[in-house]
Chains A and B, each alone.
Chain A
């Protein structure tokens, strides 16, 4: 069934089935996702996600901008992990052009990226629980998220759509206030995670709504190219930070939380446990933060990428980001293909939603955690 098929006058429905448009303005689709559902009563027979409502042609924009000018755009793809997309873009161009990055800059980037991962997970946590009917955790999560934004604001200058990394470094060095503030925040968040654990993780209503709902088997997850917490919730311990380490990640000790069930609760738990691991990474990075410059002495303005094709992978909050860069030696990229995690993660939905109830759609869709501007680009 396609949206076109619905318009076909010869298309008839049997008596007990009907169509339901969920989105693009449905509050629980978190953005402009439209799910076309064919229902029999409350049961879903077919699901067809309709995409493209926030398509801006980002990959085409990349071809018409210089490497430097494309800097603010990746942050507008996944606006919840803008620092990570920004970082990924810089890593890809640096790898292609052979630009060296000072060690301190790379540490700062990792600290900020992990902070961004926590803030992204916190927003997801609050929004997901609100979808399931719990309003209180949403307020607590936003309080913690506000602390992260307050920390990042003086350093990066923005609160959401950060543009902080530059080729060969970062825009601004961190200071002592940031470090002490961050250490205090780590301590605070550890206490808060315990509170969330009490408030949510043992709640019977929450468990009943998520356990054994939307089960993705490990094979199915691999077949659909799922990455990130969705894949790790299905028992596959794949994390780009370990599988193909980039930046300074090999220097840190952290675990990759894996759950084997593949249901909504497992995906939830993976993200929940990931926050603690991100805190561990930040702590180690702060302890070992080297001194030195954070940007090259002469700022990189014109990037010369030798002709050829390059590939760079990155673990964002939602999974694997892949950047395929083709250069013809000119000022602009010849082609810049972004492989984004949400698109693949969403692709499993039509299969996953068949034979579930409408009420479970929200639990399943939320647990997959898609960000629409990232899919539509």
Chain B
């Protein structure tokens, strides 16, 4: 008899725990949806987001500020940056493009970065003496080969400028804010 009572007791306590659990679930059924219907609706990317790095466009010159000093390439933990460039002319001989008179006029030929191996630690952006780098807001990064992740940022900036598109196009403007 006592065994049977215990059996009934177990059923009763099991049913009680089921009801208390269901109470929580049912309560949440009437709360607003927390998910976003992703490709149609997107959330805004906050300012501090670290996407693949890109070159900052100087609003005055319309060009980047990189002087090919190579600090970013040296500090990079994964060695994914390679900057090519050199002193072409001393400042003053051809003032065009020189940021400051005392600066040697440096041309950055290429700024190649392999995004696939970048760990987005931010050391390159922080170490840049001319603040020529920043994080983009790109987050949909996929490609069909490893090679597509290797990008020459200088060439990309030039190509984008040629079609009248700012490199900042990688920073999507205000998007449809999902209803909270």
Residues of A within 8 A of B (CB): 65, 68-73, 76, 136, 140, 143, 146, 153-158, 161, 163, 166, 171-172, 195, 198-200, 202-205, 299, 301
Closest 9 CB pairs of A and B: A157-B50, A72-B121, A154-B46, A69-B77, A163-B121, A154-B48, A72-B119, A204-B14, A199-B24
Task: Check B75 for interface membership: any CB of A closer than 8 A.
Answer: yes
Least CB distance, A61 to chain B, in whole angstroms: 9
Residue of chain A at shortest CB distance from B28 = A140
Task: Check B13 for interface membership: any CB of A closer than 8 A.
Answer: yes
User: B17-29 vs A: 1/0 string, CB under 8 Å?
Assistant: 1101101110010
Contact B23 A198, beta carbon cutoff 8 Å: yes
- Give complex CA distance A313, B157 in Å: 46
Contact B77 A203, beta carbon cutoff 8 Å: no
- Give complex CA distance A143, B35 in Å: 9
Least CB distance, B138 to chain A, in whole angstroms: 13
Least CB distance, B8 to chain A, in whole angstroms: 14
Contact A199 B21, beta carbon cutoff 8 Å: yes
Contact B75 A198, beta carbon cutoff 8 Å: no
Contact B28 A153, beta carbon cutoff 8 Å: no
Task: Check B34 for interface membership: any CB of A closer than 8 A.
Answer: yes
> Which residue of A143, A146, A157 is within 8 Å of B120 (Cβ)?
A157
- Give complex CA distance A72, B25 in Å: 40
B residues contacting the other copy or chain, number (CB 8 A): 28
- Give complex CA distance A146, B178 in Å: 15
Could you show 26 A-B contacts with beta carbons less than 8 Å apart? A65-B77, A68-B123, A69-B76, A71-B123, A72-B119, A72-B120, A73-B77, A76-B119, A136-B25, A146-B34, A153-B46, A153-B48, A154-B46, A155-B48, A163-B121, A163-B122, A171-B122, A195-B24, A198-B21, A199-B20, A199-B25, A202-B20, A203-B18, A204-B17, A299-B126, A301-B75
**CB within 8 Å of A: which B25-40 residues:** 25, 28, 34
- Give complex CA distance A143, B28 in Å: 12
Could you say which of B34, B46, B48 has the most chain A C-beta atoms within 10 Å of its C-beta? B48
- Give complex CA distance A158, B23 in Å: 36
- Give complex CA distance A297, B125 in Å: 17
Residue of chain A at shortest CB distance from B122 = A171
Contact A202 B120, beta carbon cutoff 8 Å: no
Contact B17 A157, beta carbon cutoff 8 Å: no
